[in-house]
Amino acid sequence: MSERRPEDRDPGQEDQDLRTQNLGKQGLGKHGLGDQPRENHGLGKQGMGTLGLWEGALDLPEGAALGDWAKTWFSCGETGFGLDLSKLGPAGRGLASMEAPLRAALEEMEALEAGAIANPSEGRMVGHYWLRAPELAPEGLGEEIAATREACLEFGRRVRAGEVFPACGGRFTKVLAIGIGGSALGPQLLQDALGEPGAGLPTLFFDNTDPDGFGRTLRGLGEELRSCLVLVTSKSGGTKETRNGMLVARAAFEAAGLPFARQAVAITGKGSALDALAEEESWLARFPMWDWVGGRTSVCSAVGLVPGALMGIDMGRFLEGAAAMDRGTRKKELRQNLAAQLAAAWYLCSEGRGARAMVALPYRDRLGLFGRYLQQLVMESLGKREDRKGRVVHQGLTVYGNKGSTDQHAYVQQLRDGLDNFFVCFLRVLEDGSGGDPASALPVDEDGATSGDYLDGFLLGTRRALSENGRPNLTLCIPRLDAFALGALVALFERTVGIYASLVDINAYDQPGVEAGKKAAGELLDLRRNILRLLGEGAKSFEELLGSLPPQTDAESVWLVLQHLVANSQRTGVTKSPGGSSGGSSTGSSGEGSSGSPAGSSAGGPAGTFSLHEQN
């Protein structure tokens, strides 16, 4: 009986093997995978036909011509991706030593996908991988995932077809997506990377709580507010930035005499405050979010599927690409596992403690937002004070980057000649352009080279220039950029983050620092409320205000809140009259107050009297 090699197995067999192995796992919690039959759930509707164009594109030539370089080239046959680690410099010599830690990390990933409590600080499973492989989800979740996916895609199709329409009739022409963090970055990446004019509904975003940003976006909508579909996305339903954006949008609809609920869609956790509101007001549609999917890994859920479908993006292919990369990065054969190799490179380059920043340099305009997307995915996941044993470690991996060749005219100068405190992750897309764009074939010099040839030349040239100066870098090579490839790219970095987190022994799936910031913001808003209450009782100096507040209140926070109140006096009614105050220091017109704020600014120094005036 001959033994079947790992590389001879088909993708479906690997998924079956994963389920079988997990049945005998110990210590995975109560969530076993069960012995349910494998289902397709629509992922294979279009098959892998287009991959035929990629076959062989990244294969290495036979023979020894490439020498040692071939030993640091890794590929994923099902996705067509390749990873070049030949330019890591001294860090690259440690790749062989990473085998045992990587195997342990892969075992942890296997347990995670089986339903183990991988986020112990919140007592939750971590299941974003199930979103593109529902058949692997435990406890009957697969049916719910598949049904939600179909509902999201069908809703997008019906809106684009005009079967779902605005309250005033006609068709929806724009989308206003309200969300923050992953609830905005995922859809923004989809639109920027895959959106095409005329393919679907252009999408605008409220992704902050900046009133100036709200106003500019609404002015851009203009009369199209009447035909605008509003998506409100918040897992908890209580995210303040998202709530504020929703209230601003609702006010704009009401001012225009439009029924907000008839054009609003909620994407939120079942039973959340937002879910209850949408049900009570009979919003146009509601789609679920699950507590086992974090915002930064939610693009394969309704968070990305609904806006992506409305944009006219083939989200089925996006999910296929993510699922294909998941299969490739479950492989136990490390040379065939791009996520394991990429995590090892991160670990070696950053010394396993974030000693170097990662500069993401995709040479493609459509990936201009990918650096921002990675910032959240990587830094929110890996930036942790404590490891899983409770030891203070201050882990993290700093990420920045924009796109090439634009950045060659910006900070690449420092990368080559300045501080040696980074490594570069190049993203190289082999196929130029999309859809037979004439710009892809137009010669731009006497030798017949195109703008795409120049773009690739600039990437390879920058790579060589950095390497010649001893600056570590790696290159991820992608055959073409389409929905399948973007799904695979997102899945690759999600898996890499999970493996790296295991290598450094941290929980990649909570965000206590974010929660601390939210708590502090709430306390400052409470302080604002108390200051207004005190000023409502009569004018007060800074010292009098401070003395009237609880003893633990710090003076700096009081002053900072007053600065903003006075700067917006037309709205708040808070003004400051000049003059001395009991015990306060006063500065001249060109000096600075004790807060460090210029005396000529909106609030001046702390000396003076603050008053609250009634607003019309």
Pick the range with the lowest mean pLDDT from 39-53, 190-204, 332-346, 378-392: 39-53
Cis peptide bond prior to 405, omega within 30° of 0 = yes
Q: DSSP 3-state assignment of 216?
A: helix
If one counts every other C-beta atom within 10 angstroms of the C-beta of residue 377, the result is 25
Which residue matches tokens 């504020």?
244
pLDDT the model gives residue 42 = 35
Q: DSSP 3-state assignment of 588?
A: coil
Q: Where does the pLDDT of residue 121 fall: very low under 50, low under 70, confident under 90, or very high at 90 and above?
A: confident
User: What's this model's pTM, rounded to 2 decimal places?
Assistant: 0.86
Looking at residues 292-298, what average pLDDT do you find? 96
Short-list 318, 341, 298, CA closest to 476: 341
pLDDT the model gives residue 579 = 66
Q: Answer for the pair 411, 461: CB distance below 8 angstroms, yes or no.
A: no
pLDDT the model gives residue 12 = 42
Burial of 253 by CB count in 10 Å (0-12 exposed, 13-18 middle, 19+ buried)?
A: buried
Q: Is the pLDDT of residue 13 over 70?
A: no
Looking at residues 588-596, what average pLDDT do you find? 36
- Total count of residues recorded for the chain: 616
Catalytic residue among 62, 223, 280, 409: 409
Q: What is d(CA 346, CA 91) in angstroms, rounded to the nearest whole number?
A: 10
Arithmetic mean of pLDDT over the chain? 87
Q: Report the chain's terminal Cα–Cα distance, integer Å.
A: 89
pLDDT the model gives residue 195 = 97
Chain-centre distance for alpha carbon 113: 21
Looking at residues 484-500, what average pLDDT do you find? 98
**Bridge partners, residue 328, by sequence:** none
pLDDT the model gives residue 588 = 34
Q: What is d(CA 34, CA 41) in angstroms, rounded to the nearest whole number?
A: 18
Q: What is d(CA 148, CA 146) in angstroms, rounded to the nearest whole number?
A: 5
- CA atoms lying within 13 Å on the CB side of residue 84: 24
43 versus 140: the higher-pLDDT residue is: 140
Pick the range with the lowest mean pLDDT from 43-47, 203-207, 377-381, 509-513: 43-47
Q: What is d(CA 591, CA 586) in angstroms, rounded to the nearest whole number?
A: 9
Q: What is d(CA 228, CA 171) in angstroms, rounded to the nearest whole number?
A: 9
Q: Is the pLDDT of residue 111 over 80?
A: yes
Looking at residues 360-380, what average pLDDT do you find? 97
**380 in catalytic set:** yes
pLDDT the model gives residue 603 = 52
Catalytic residue among 241, 380, 494, 540: 380
Reported for 280-284, long-range contacts at CB under 8 A and 24+ positions apart, including other chains, are: 284/164, 284/229
Q: Where does the pLDDT of residue 407 fall: very low under 50, low under 70, confident under 90, or very high at 90 and above?
A: confident
Q: Where does the pLDDT of residue 35 fall: very low under 50, low under 70, confident under 90, or very high at 90 and above?
A: very low
pLDDT the model gives residue 616 = 60
**409 in catalytic set:** yes
Q: Which residues contact 452 (CB under 8 A, 6 or more apart)?
A: 432, 433, 440
Catalytic residue among 31, 240, 518, 564: 518
